[in-house]
Chains A and B, each alone.
Chain A
Amino acid sequence: MHAITASGLSRRFGDLEAVAGIDLAIERGEIYGLLGPNGAGKSTTVRMLCTLLGPTGGRAVVAGHDVADEPDAVRLRIGAALQEAALDPKQTGTQLLRLQGRLYGLSNAEVDQRVSELTAMIDLGEAIDRPIDTYSGGMKRRLDLAAALVHNPEVLFLDEPTTGLDPVSRNRVWDEVRMLNETLGMTILLTTQYLEEADSLAHRVGIIDGGKLVAEGTPTELKRQVGDDLIVARIDGDPAAAAAVVGALDGARVVDTSDGALMVAAPDGAATVGPVAVALAEAGIPLRDLTLRTPTLDDVFLEVTGNRLRSDARPTSTDQIDEVSR
């Protein structure tokens, strides 16, 4: 049973096609991560699924109802925390949650119960009765999440829920997302530009670029698409010359030469890393460091789009743990 389906979902703004025919089939109880850089079409997709923006093509069904034909039925069943925390800074946290409860038709007793439960969940302490404009960014995000949950939605949309948060606040949000999914079976669609977030949270990941879904699968499946181990050689020389030297080795395939580093894919990384070091040394190309690692979602993104998702992408702690365990 699907919680969200979309077929050919599109949105055009004048000449710009922000979303160019996306197909989705997200199971109930699944956490689905939409991963892509800024401007890829993630937020536009979420705004269409949340009924905030009408599609200009295709259709989408959320919680059993068409977003264009039955938006009211969809709104009763979804919650959303958008990219910028959508809060009224002059209200207190409690006032905001109470108002949300009333707007979703909850009785006073139900509002009291939900405010109590959600206040405990987001753990803002006495700050919950302070004006929201006194909150930190992390507190606003958590309150925004609580506001999205007042009515126990079947489907939750989180648009870049941790952008701009410090690591501690980010981990808290991740824990809350996992808890909502594992304990309540809530279907969650989250967008992110953080590889680690998609890798850590999502059961399945859809990679979006230029308004199109270019790859989809579990993080493991996607990384398996890249297949090979990756050797990253940081050099102090001409990357093109280094690529020619290394590319001539058996079983080595140079896949990227950006940022003063040579990225080499190899079916057996452990067996290839030595010959790469020797070849570079014999060619007189100074080697600063050499790393062997498993593929990341950034590598998947590079494989399917030809571009890096983030220019400063580095092996994550998860990847390094994977490497140690091999």
Chain B
Amino acid sequence: MTTTSTALLPGSTSTIRARPTSFVHDVSTIAGRALRAVPGDLEAVIPPVLIATFFFVVNIATLEGLTEGQIDGFDYTAFQMPTAILLGVTGVSRAPALVLDVQNGYLDRLLMTPMRRIAILLGHLVADVAIAMALAVPILVLGLILGTGFETGVVGAIVFLLMAAFWSLSFAGFGYAVALKTGNPAAVQSVFLLFFPFLFLTTSYVPRAQLSGWLDTVASFNPVTYILEGLRSLAIDGWTIDLLWGVIAIVAVGALSMSMCLAALRGRVAAG
């Protein structure tokens, strides 16, 4: 039994064949697919922003009086905004979607196309940068509404968003590494827990000078300390060396996470 019409056979009216594509084409195609999936997966991106916004407002209400009363000229809203941004964008990635691709076999279909393997990863990462920037904007706007300014002006605000997005990307690399290594969604979700010690063993809530001895020592080894100080410098101090340290911290974490990520991709491809 068949209902197939020979007039509609695939290829019967054309000589269409596959042809090699450019690297940019591959990456943009995968990034486009990842971004198109976001509206159907809002539960993965909205809660982090709501939580970050909640803590931003509550922390200001709780600690503003205490900190600004202790330190002359201290702007606690500007101080808190980078903490809220990092809380909002860290761990937001399409890595769980990649896990689903592994689980339902769609990754195999992608791997059978002539697309470069690395484009699968980079496409997702490009989408993550765009998503992180979009998520950081509402928190930034809230900070501006609450009275925070940018000593570095509009350019500084853009650099601020880019730094937040690239930090998100650097951290997301750990999620992709776990996704590709394990193919386990629970394992990917648990990667976010790694961020908590980094977020709390640093200057998230009070300046470095207010930290006690051991915590100050730990904070000095915590890359998030330098990222927060770099972000704060853009809002509070202007163009300073702190920005450079912040960038170096992001690059260092990113180098580590992306190395793990690429190793996991190679392992996944080799395992077939």
Contacts and interface: CB of A to CB of B under 8 A. Distances in A.
Nearest to A120: B8
B6 A179 contact: yes
A113 B16 contact: yes
Interface SS of chain B: loop
B70 interface: no
Interface string B237-272: 000000000000000000000000000000000111
Nearest to A179: B4
Nearest to B114: A75
A108 B171 CA distance: 36
B21 interface: yes
B16 A106 contact: yes
- Which of B2, B6, B11, B18 is packed against the most chain A CB atoms within 10 Å? B18
A105 to B, nearest CB: 4
A313 interface: no
Interface in B1-59: 1-6, 8-21, 25-26, 29, 33, 36-37, 40-41
Interface stretch (B76-84, B104-112, B137-145, B227-235): B104-112
A125 to B, nearest CB: 11
Given A113-B14, A114-B10, A121-B8, A87 B29 contact: no
6 contacts: A86-B105, A87-B109, A120-B8, A123-B4, A152-B16, A179-B6
Interface stretch (A51-59, A224-232, A238-246): A51-59
B29 A102 contact: yes
A76 B114 contact: yes
A212 to B, nearest CB: 20
B10 A75 contact: no
Nearest to A101: B16
A99 interface: yes
Interface size class of B (residues with CB under 8 A): 35 or more
B216 interface: no
Interface residues of A, number: 54
A105 B21 contact: yes
A106 B47 CA distance: 38
A184 B12 contact: yes
Contact of A50 (B2, B101, B105, B112): B112
Contacts of B26: 103
Given A72-B20, A120-B8, A51 B1 contact: no
A89 B104 CA distance: 8
Nearest to A154: B17
Nearest to A116: B8
B115 interface: yes
B270 to A, nearest CB: 7
A152 B109 CA distance: 15
B113 interface: yes
For the complex of A and B, the 3 pairs showing the least CB-CB separation, nearest first, are: A53-B272, A151-B18, A175-B2
A289 to B, nearest CB: 31
A290 interface: no
A78 B114 CA distance: 10
